[in-house]
Amino acid sequence: MDYTSAPAYIKSYSYRQWDPEEEVRPRLVLHSTAVLLTYQGDWGLVALSPGKLQGYSEDQITRYVEELSCVTEICNRFQLHATALANLLYVSSWACGVEICFRTWETKGQLRLHGHLFLKSDRSSLWCEDQTALSFMSVLPHLRDALCGKKTARCCWAGAYYTLVPKLGAIHRGGPLERFHDFPVNPE
């Protein structure tokens, strides 16, 4: 009971409640057949001089941003993260993408990127107990479309479609999945 400087009565109470020698088991973070992970954070904020892209169309902004070395670096890092996570979870069916959030551009005047990573289990399901394995540049993802069960076979490609569909602001697409070849494309 000498692990802490807490008063003796607190140590006594605590040690009766919890065994300090007992190993804490990791908490299940992800258990799914297919999942769409969305990454947003300060890593995606692109610094621009004031007024730099004012008056540009969304296509012009996209072309400009694609050429920035800092954005290329972000896309490369996201691709490496996606590949590593797919390998960790033993997934060969995956797709990733980085895009501009035009809503943030219109409302706040900030150029911000976000990323999507779709993973579909090649086995029965995806299992991940390490929350840090899911993080990209110290940011945990939002879990979307986490599906598990027998009735998911037909509907679990929605995340792949969302990740790979041509969109305004799409900067990067990666992964082994291709629309029209690896999964049925139906936006409904």
80 assigned to some structural domain: yes
4 assigned to some structural domain: no
pTM (two decimals): 0.78
What is the rounded distance in angstroms from the CA atom of residue 69 to the CA atom of residue 75?
Answer: 10
19 assigned to some structural domain: no
Whether the Cβ atoms of residue 177 and residue 183 lie closer than 8 Å to each other: yes
The domain total for the chain is 1
CATH number at residue 128: 3.40.1310
CA-nearest of 34, 52, 60, 14 to 124 is 34
Please report, for the chain, how many H helices and E strands are present, in that order. 6, 8
Cβ count near 92 (within 10 Å): 13
56 assigned to some structural domain: yes
135 assigned to some structural domain: yes
Q: Is the pLDDT of residue 48 over 70?
A: yes
Of 80-84, 115-119, 154-158, least confident by mean pLDDT is 154-158
> What is the residue range of 100's domain?
26-174
Q: What percent of the chain has pLDDT over 70?
A: 79
84 assigned to some structural domain: yes
Query: What confidence score (pLDDT) does residue 13 get?
Result: 72
179 assigned to some structural domain: no
In tens, the pLDDT along 66-103 reads 999 999 999 999 999 999 999 998 898 999 999 999 99
Q: Is the pLDDT of residue 154 over 90?
A: no
